[in-house]
Copies of this chain bind each other. A is one copy, B any other.
Amino acid sequence: MKKRIVLLPGDGIGKEVINSAKDVLNAIAEEYNHTFSFESHEIGGAAIDLYGTPLPETTVDACKQADAVLLGAVGGPKWDSNPSHLRPERGLLGIRKALDLYANLRPIKGFKNLLHASPLKEEVVSGSDLLIVRELTGGLYFGTPSERRDNGNSVVDTLVYSRQEIERIVDKGFQAAQQRRGHLTSVDKANVLESSKLWREIVEEKKAQYPDVAVEHVLVDAAAMKLITNPTQFDVIVTENLFGDILSDEASVITGSLGMLPSASLNENGVGLYEPVHGSAPDIAGKGVANPVAMILSAALMLRYSFQLNDEAKVIEDAVQAVLDAGFHTGDIQVPEGRLVGTAEMTKLIADYI
């Protein structure tokens, strides 16, 4: 198979972990006789510094022509006081919108021998394996007006969804549940928000099309609680953009480290952008100590979702598991009697296994 992959390293540890993904993909290419070509482009703070914008046209064009996109992370204190349109996050939000990546899939599964690193009791997290399907191109993130009013004396943001936007993400949720354990939890705030009421109605309408899926509605406040008290009760969670942002970061505690969590953002045509859930971690950037696992697992998701290379994806996941099982870990996780390694060594261990 021949595939063109665009790499968007971004900022901070993004620049480091993106190389880990590349190394691991090269190992896969060699082993399975694929040809992966890589092309690097700027986004976020790095793009602001070079081109004066967080999302240059050349980056967007390259992504549109690619078979898939891998993104590291964006952001850092250097650009934190920039005006809105010159903030690194704008690059991320911009590329999501430009490619219409409305479906963000965030699988959360504890690695058995890292469960002790979770702040949750082992008996609570043990066996938890859930997927958050987050709407990524609508809601409060993109609604207008989003502006100051009355000479700066008031401010407004807008939560807007079209029926079609809700329908397509809800479908993704149902389909994901069909491929997993057949259970879908739709999270909303239907006792307060009109948008959530429409969301809930659409979920109810769609039920008939997926008779093999059991559906449950949970209010976002209750979901934030249940995710911690009883994470194993969840299979697939489908929710709107901001709720998904909050709940997926929260759910990361189940695994003990944000450094383990990959994500896939897909559009209707199967073109996808794959990125770790973690950010650019400016505090540890440039030190060679970042955990590359989330980025490497994101590359595995790319193989599975964009290229249908299920076996190859599985090999990467197995490699990660094997290296963790052998006791290797980066500094974000404490493993008693484990072996602390840096980004490069962790990457090499995983690539070598392949």
Residues of chain A having any CB pair with chain B under 8 Å: 75, 84, 87, 89, 93, 119-121, 124, 140-141, 143, 146-148, 150, 152-164, 189, 191-195, 197-198, 220-222, 224-225, 227-230, 242, 245-250, 252-253, 258
Q: Please, how many angstroms separate the alpha-carbon atoms of A148 and B229 in the complex?
A: 35
Q: Which of chain B's residues has its CB closest to A123's CB?
A: B119
Nearest residue in B to A256 (C-beta to C-beta)? B229
CB-defined contacts of A156 to chain B, threshold 8 Å: 143, 158-160, 194-195
Residues of B within 8 A of A155 (CB): 160-161, 163, 194-195, 197-198
Give the contacting residue for A192; candidates B93, B154, B228; CB below 8 A: B93
Taking A158-B158, A160-B154 as contacts, is the C-beta distance between A191 and B89 under 8 angstroms? yes
Q: Which of A143, A147, A194, A248 has the most CB of B within 10 A?
A: A194
In the assembled complex, the CB of A250 is this many whole angstroms from the nearest CB of chain B, namely 4
Q: Which residues of B contact A250 (CB under 8 A)?
A: 221, 224-225, 227-228, 250
Q: How far is the CA of A154 from the CA of B140 in the complex (A)?
A: 14
**A159 and B162 contact, CB distance less than 8 A:** no
A157-B159 in contact given A194-B148, A229-B119, A249-B224 (Cβ < 8 Å)? yes
Determine whether the beta carbon of B161 is less than 8 Å from that of A154: yes
Nearest chain B CB to A145's CB is how many angstroms away? 9
Report Cα–Cα, A190/B258, bound state, in Å. 21
- Closest A-B pairs by Cβ, 7 of them: A224-B250, A221-B249, A157-B159, A154-B162, A119-B124, A155-B198, A89-B191
Once bound together, how far apart are the Cα atoms of A165 and B289, in whole Å? 44
A277 to B: closest C-beta gap in Å:
9
- Can you report 21 A-B residue pairs in the complex whose CB atoms are below 8 A from each other? A75-B191, A84-B194, A119-B124, A120-B121, A141-B192, A154-B161, A154-B163, A155-B160, A155-B161, A156-B194, A156-B195, A157-B159, A157-B193, A157-B194, A220-B245, A221-B246, A221-B248, A221-B250, A224-B247, A224-B250, A227-B250
Bound-state CA distance A296–B148 (Å) is 42
Residues of the B chain whose Cβ atoms lie less than 8 Å from the Cβ of A253: 225, 228-229
A154 surroundings in chain B (CB, below 8 A):
160-163
Known pairs A157-B193, A225-B249. 16 more at Cβ < 8 A?
A84-B197, A87-B191, A89-B191, A119-B124, A119-B228, A154-B160, A154-B163, A155-B197, A156-B194, A156-B195, A157-B194, A159-B159, A221-B245, A221-B246, A224-B249, A229-B253
